Each structure stands twice: as C-alpha cells, then as structure tokens.
Amino acid sequence: MSLPAHRLTDLPTILQEARHAVDLRLTRRAELLRQSPGGRDGEALAYALGTAGKRVRPALVFASYRAAGGEAEGIAGIAAAVEIVHTYSLVHDDLPCMDDDAQRRGRPTTHMQFDTSTATRTGFLLVPVAVEELADGAQAMALPDATLGRMAETLLEASGIRGMVGGQWLDLEGEGRRLELADLVEIHRRKTGALIEAACALGATAAGADRRTEAALTEFGREIGLAFQIADDLLDATATSAELGKTAGRDATLEKATYVSLLGVAGARSEALRHADLACAALRGSGIESGALESLAGYIVQRRS
C-alpha cells in the first residue's frame, strides 16, 4: 500500500477517540448488566465487556460516519453495538467446542474465568444487548425508526448465517482439511469481514449517506474486512503470544488453512496490502476523501497485535 504521508490522519487520535467514547458506553452497559440479570451472569457479561480490545470496528464506524458527512456525538452508541457483537463472537470463539483458548486480550477467556456454560450464555445474551445499544444510539441521534430498522438488519445479517456465524461454521468444518484459496476467501469474508463491512455501512446509514456514498463505504469495509483477517493470519504465524494477548500459533495447532499456509508469509502480506489498496480505491473512485479511513486501512494491515 502506498499512501502519501500528507493524506494520513493521526491514527492514535482516531483510535483513541473511538475507544474513549465506546468504553464509556460499554462501562455504563456493564453496570446495568451487573444489576440485571445480575449475579454470576451479570458479572460474566461485565467481564466480557470490560476486556480491552483495539476497538478497530468502532473506529471504522466513526470514520465512515464522518466520511459520509455525519457530525453527531451519538454515533458512539452505534459503534458500541458493533463492538458488543464482536465481543460475543470472541467469547464463543474461545470456547472449548470452538478454538478452545485460555487467553484473550491479555486476560483469561470468559469460560476460564467463569465456566463454559456461563460463557456460552454470556455470548448469547450479548446479542440482544447489542441491539439495545443500537436502539439507544439511534434514539440519541434522533434517527427515524426506518433508519434504525435498516441498521438492525445490517448488523444482524452480518452476524448471522450469511455472515459471521456461517463463516465460523465453515472455518470449523475446514479444520484439518485442504482448502482452496477461493474457499478461504469466502470463510474470511464471512467470519471476519462481514462485521467489519457492517461497521462501515452502519456509519454511512447513520449519517444519511446517499446510495453511492453508502455503496462505496460498504465496499471499503468489504475489502478492508478481508485484509483484516489476512493480517490476523499473518500475526498468528509471526507474532508472539505476549504481543497478541492470546495464544499465538493457534492456526497451525488446529491445522487451519490460512493465507500463510496457502501462500506463505510474503504472499499473504502482499494480498493484505492489495486488498487494503482496493479498499482505498473504492473510496477514491467515489470521490470520498477520508484520511481517517485510509489511516485505518494502513493500520489494519501493518499492526503488530
């Protein structure tokens, strides 16, 4: 990827702004969940929401919203809704029946900290919590009900069988099997890419973008979503557990096909960069100037965790 330096907007500021606003919402939501349902489930929900991720998806919601001309503060609620769906997926991904991992975001996974049935419930309970957060966000922005309806459809469609759940299912079925690159592209686009695409689409919808702008931001999300998972494959093969805050080398242990196993480290890296370039080209092709989105695209493929 070759971006002229003057077009890059200050990345730490972009991530910090989204993290700060979304963490406030997640902390408030965790407090509510400690009260209801309360008890051990409330504690487990608060624990899962309290783990510190990079908040890339919220940053993409913010940046897409701004790129489409949005200015309201309430966008943090929409961004938090996406992060809550992501959090549910991590809790379930780590379960013994899936990737069976003990560490996440530098802390014990939810099922290690509590137990498997509590963590399973936590994941499921987070889905309606995300929809509640989305509705609260839409209300704070005084968005029409029809817009909230479209946003809920975007988020839930991306989370379901045609998106994240379907991708994870294919991913689990693919363990120990030889996959072609086309199979892997489909798994990556659904398992990881769909929610990232939805994050960008939601920012555009919340801003009331016209069809062309919304399509370009969605296309940006589709390409950067695939690049994100290719970068994740690379990190799993090349970074340490300390850098990742989770067990490195899991893909090889589980005999998963990845971009690295199919194309090697250099081949995977060049595909990640190519898809990041395609993402930025989608913006420029529609005349969208967004230093923030271009910075995020660069970060997604060059990050070390």
Catalog residues that contact ligand GRG under the rule CB under 6 A: 53-54, 56, 86, 89-90, 92-93, 98, 105, 164-165, 168-169, 191-192, 229, 232
Nearer to ligand GRG, 75 or 119 (CB): 119
Nearest distance from residue 249's CB to ligand GRG, in Å?
A: 15
Nearest distance from residue 210's CB to ligand GRG, in Å?
A: 30
Phi, psi of 247 (to 5 degrees): -70, 120
Nearer to ligand GRG, 160 or 208 (CB): 160
Nearest distance from residue 230's CB to ligand GRG, in Å?
A: 10
Nearer to ligand GRG, 214 or 271 (CB): 271
Nearest distance from residue 65's CB to ligand GRG, in Å?
A: 19
Nearer to ligand GRG, 89 or 110 (CB): 89
Phi, psi of 103 (to 5 degrees): -125, 140
Q: Are 266 and 194 in contact (CB under 8 A)?
A: no
CA angle 107, 110, 116 (to 5 degrees): 145
Collapse the DSSP code of 108 into the 3-class scheme (helix H, G, I; strand E, B; otherwise coil) and give the result: strand
For residue 241, give the amino acid letter.
Answer: S
Nearer to ligand GRG, 22 or 141 (CB): 22
Q: Which residues contact 66 (CB under 8 A, 6 or more apart)?
A: 203, 207, 290, 292
Nearest distance from residue 287's CB to ligand GRG, in Å?
A: 29
Nearer to ligand GRG, 54 or 66 (CB): 54
- DSSP secondary structure letters along 190-254: IIIIHHHHHHHHHHHHHTT--HHHHHHHHHHHHHHHHHHHHHHHHHHHHS-HHHHTS-TTHHHHT
Nearer to ligand GRG, 138 or 220 (CB): 220
Residue nearest to ligand GRG (CB): 53
Question: Residue 240 has which token pair?
Answer: 């340490």
Distance of alpha carbon 62 from alpha carbon 158, whole angstroms: 18
Q: Taking the CB of residue 80, how many other CB atoms lie within 10 A of it?
A: 30
User: Which whole-number Å values give the CA distances from 189 to 46, 103, 186, 225, in the listed order?
Assistant: 29, 25, 5, 7
Nearest distance from residue 134's CB to ligand GRG, in Å?
A: 18
Nearest distance from residue 265's CB to ligand GRG, in Å?
A: 17
Give me the torsion for CA of 226, 229, 230, 234, rounded to 10°.
170
Nearest distance from residue 209's CB to ligand GRG, in Å?
A: 24
Nearer to ligand GRG, 168 or 295 (CB): 168
